[in-house]
Amino acid sequence: MSTTFFSRLSQNYIEILKDDEYYDITIEVGNDPNVKIFRAHIIILCYRSSFLRRTLASNKKNDDSTLIHIKFPNISPEIF
């Protein structure tokens, strides 16, 4: 494959990280007043993190397309 393809693919992933419209999960980390909510894509999380794959296995998305929201109060936003 050409380097142009991989360069474009990398750029697409950067755009996905900044996407405010097509995410399907929110992850809330930290405790008040230091709380941050991250928007993400379940498919990417599952393939990039075995911890999140296990966590999300018990929080599968409903067929009604409801947004999933999980909380990790014991993890600081900076660490996450």
Question: For residue range 43-70, what is the model confidence (pLDDT) as tens digits?
Answer: 889 999 999 999 888 766 556 667 899 9
Is the N-terminal amide bond of 77 cis, ω within 30° of 0?
Answer: no
Please state the domain extents for the chain.
21-72
Question: For residue range 2-36, what is the model confidence (pLDDT) as tens digits?
Answer: 788 889 999 998 888 888 888 999 999 999 999 99
| Measured distance CA(31)–CA(77) in Å, rounded | 9
What is the amino acid identity at position 17?
L
- pTM confidence score: 0.73
